[in-house]
Amino acid sequence: MRAFGYTVAKDPADAVRLVTTTPGATFIAGGTDLLNLMKDGAQAHDHLVDLNRLDMAEVRAQGAGVRIGALARMRHVAEHRRVREGFPVLAQALLASASPQLRNMAAIGGNLLQRTRCGYFRDSGSACNKREPGSGCPALEGYSRGHAILGGSDHCIATHPSDLAVALLALDASVHVLGPDGARRIPIADFHLLPGSTPERENALRRGELITHVEVPDSHAAAHSRYLKLRDRATFEFAVVSVAAALELRGGVVRDVRLAFGGVATKPWRSAEAEAALRGKPLTAANVAEAGRALVRGAAPRPDNAFKVELVQRAMAGVLAELGGPR
Amino acid sequence: MTDDPHPTRRAHKRRTVLKGSAVAAGAAAVPPLAATASAEAAIASTVDITLSVNGRDHDISLEPRVTLLDALRDRLGLTGAKKGCDRGECGACTVLVDGERIKSCTTLAVMRQGSRITTVEGLADGDRLHPVQQAFIRHDAFQCGGCTSGQIMSAVACIQEGHAGSEAEIRDWMSGNLCRCACYQNIVAAVGDAAREMRR
Ligand code: FES
Ligand code: FES
């Protein structure tokens, strides 16, 4: 890691001011991804603004939902009673992430900003449009088993690695930020960006904007939700395919369903098509199969990851079965 | 908490990219500043911090880029925490911070001022080994020992968290600690045994 300056922020406005006015500055909270990126040369900063003394780690009920401070650690959110009861998919996604040590360190805001595990991106000796715009994407012709079948472009097919973001997407959460121009709210669906021709731009944050908290609204579906993560080993591994599902059934008919996916797309992926194939209909095997087909209709698989087309449909059917659908 | 919660320091202007943090830690001992043109850049590149480790306060001055692991090993001579991957993957560097297990290679020493840090060196009570240490010996839960201090620190927290109730639970909640000698069978047995003993 090359040398950098370091400042402890006093309050959120101070943090925003410091990052906005200090050349090459960025925020550090848990640091579990940022420091690896800096060690690997995938990212470089001249100055780090430490957020850890800010009063932003609280998790609490707020109105009809829960408010999660951006500095809350993964472990503490997963253990929170309100989260476990009202949003099982959220607690499950967090516990399926990383290792116990990292869950004690990593903060919620940073989790949403973690960068892809694409080997070409992490290896500063490789070309990568995300790391060095215009240098090319070796994954397009190279090893792409971990890469996206949905949402890719000619410039990038890297997947987003966050389990938390997939769960929050299924829960219609919103990300609250503070910036030089004040506070604003970003629906989680608009937070992460498709790569298009600018894969280096991964989210909707403007320069100096700080995530202060995340809000997750209550719903019947949210309370009846589940996360399934398929990976190459039982634990401490990123998703090959993951599904966050929330379901409200009334008399056997789907009243509300939210389906979000990880490991298959360039950003946390919500499938309005799959949801539409189920909403207002009985949860039969035929309807679930139709939803699966709708989910992968636009898929662009490559030889190494073609298996995900089938796997993600089965994973979705599996989660829906656990939530009360056909087995 | 320190008295000065707002220490602003500028990075010095040396653009050398140092590969590997062993080198980075070594660099802290090098005369701090390359000559620079502007006066404002002539601010020290090191910060003075106090780390509380195993019940003792240590005043050290180091560069912000020094990880907690490197500070413990290279500056305080506490080599119990090991550097396996330096990327948060292997768990060999596991220590407790305010009672919670973390990977010390993936946090900066400057970020841990005011915290209570416990390393494997601080686990025994005088000559009396911690029950987890004793269980690792009884069960022959290591070969080369490279992962062992990390395994032991992680196990202490794992048991305290209440995640050592069954073999499956131990395997899941100890998954942040890899053993290249693959002593997993005996490690799991040692953790389970220590957990039972500590409950008594
Ligand atoms: S050295 Fe820290 S996790 Fe491997
Ligand atoms: S005993 Fe050798 S790495 Fe675990």
CATH of residue A299: 3.30.390.50
Rg (CA), chain A: 19
B67 touches chain A (CB under 8 A): yes
> So where are chain B's domains?
66-199
At position A320, the amino acid (one-letter code) is: L
Cα(B89)–Cα(A6) distance, integer angstroms:
25
Nearest CA to ligand 2 atom 4: B179
For residue B21, list chain A residues with Cβ-Cβ distance below 8 A: 1, 39
**Res B7 pLDDT > 80:** no
User: Cβ separation of A32 and B47 shorter than 8 Å?
Assistant: no
Nearest to B196 by CA among B163, B164, B150, B161: B164
Higher local confidence (pLDDT), B20 or A236: A236
Q: Is residue A241 part of a domain?
A: yes
At position A307, the amino acid (one-letter code) is: F
Closest-CA distance of chain A to residue B139, Å: 24
pLDDT of residue B38: 36
pLDDT of residue B199: 86
Question: Which atom belonging to ligand 1 lies closest to the Cα atom of B86?
Answer: 1
pLDDT in tens, A52-68: 999 999 999 999 999 99
* E strand residue ranges, chain A: 5-8, 25-28, 47-50, 59-61, 65-69, 174-179, 182-187, 210-217, 225-230, 241-250, 253-262, 269-270
Q: Which two tokens stand for residue A13?
A: 């406005």
Interfacial B residues in 130-159 facing A (CB < 8 Å) = 154, 157-158
Q: Which two tokens stand for residue A140?
A: 């397009």
Note whether ipTM > 0.85 here. Answer: yes
Higher local confidence (pLDDT), A71 or B18: A71
**Res B188 pLDDT > 50:** yes
Beginning with the edge strand found earlier in the chain, give each strand of the sheet holding B94-97 in spatial order.
B56-62, B47-53, B116-118, B94-97, B100-103
Q: What is the mean pLDDT for each group of 10 consecutive residues in chain A (327 residues)?
A: 95 98 97 97 96 98 97 98 98 98 98 97 96 98 97 98 98 98 98 98 97 98 98 95 97 96 98 98 97 98 97 98 85
Mean pLDDT across chain B: 84
Q: Is residue A172 part of a domain?
A: no
- Contact B21/A1 with Cβ under 8 angstroms? yes
Q: What is the mean pLDDT of residues B23-33?
A: 35
pLDDT of residue B9: 38
Whole-model pTM? 0.91
Q: How many domains does chain A have?
A: 1
Cα(B11)–Cα(B45) distance, integer angstroms:
6
User: Cβ separation of B94 and A101 shorter than 8 Å?
Assistant: yes
- Expressed as residue numbers, the domain containing A266 is 223-322
Q: Is residue A125 part of a domain?
A: no
Q: Is residue A290 part of a domain?
A: yes
B98 touches chain A (CB under 8 A): no
Cα(B180)–Cα(A216) distance, integer angstroms:
41
Point out the ligand nearest to the CA of residue B72.
1
The one-character DSSP state at A107 is B
Q: Which amino acids bring their CB within 6 angstroms of ligand 2?
A: B 142-148, 179-181, 183
- pLDDT tier at B33 (50, 70, 90 boundaries)? very low
* E strand residue ranges, chain B: 47-53, 56-62, 94-97, 100-103, 116-118
Q: Is residue A97 part of a domain?
A: no
Point out the ligand nearest to the CA of residue B182.
2
Who contacts B87 (Cβ-Cβ below 8 Å, separation ≥6)?
A36, A39, B105, B106
Interfacial A residues in 139-198 facing B (CB < 8 Å) = none
Q: Is residue A114 part of a domain?
A: no
pLDDT of residue A5: 96
- Contact B112/B199 with Cβ under 8 angstroms? no
Q: Is residue A313 part of a domain?
A: yes
Question: Which atom belonging to ligand 2 lies closest to the Cα atom of B141?
Answer: 1
In three-state secondary structure terms, B140 is coil
User: Cβ separation of A100 and B157 shorter than 8 Å?
Assistant: yes
pLDDT of residue B200: 78
Q: Which two tokens stand for residue A213?
A: 């908290």
pLDDT of residue B26: 35
Cα(B12)–Cα(B33) distance, integer angstroms:
7
User: Cβ separation of B21 and A39 shorter than 8 Å?
Assistant: yes
Hey, CA dihedral for B104, B110, B112, B116, is it positive or negative?
positive
pLDDT of residue A325: 76
Question: Which atom belonging to ligand 2 lies closest to the Cα atom of B187?
Answer: 4
pLDDT in tens, B102-130: 999 999 999 999 999 999 999 999 999 99
User: Cβ separation of B8 and A5 shorter than 8 Å?
Assistant: yes
**Res B22 pLDDT > 70:** no
pLDDT of residue A39: 97
pLDDT in tens, B68-89: 999 999 999 999 999 999 999 9
Nearest to A262 by CA among A119, A80, A94: A94
Q: Is residue A26 part of a domain?
A: no
**Res B8 pLDDT > 70:** no
**Res B27 pLDDT > 70:** no
Q: Reply yes or no on domain B66-199 having CATH 1.10.150.120.
A: yes
**Res B159 pLDDT > 60:** yes
For residue A3, list chain B residues with Cβ-Cβ distance below 8 A: 11-12, 14, 27, 45, 63-65
User: Cβ separation of A100 and B15 shorter than 8 Å?
Assistant: no
Q: Which residue from A3, A31, A236 is facing B108, i.e. has the nearest CB?
A: A31
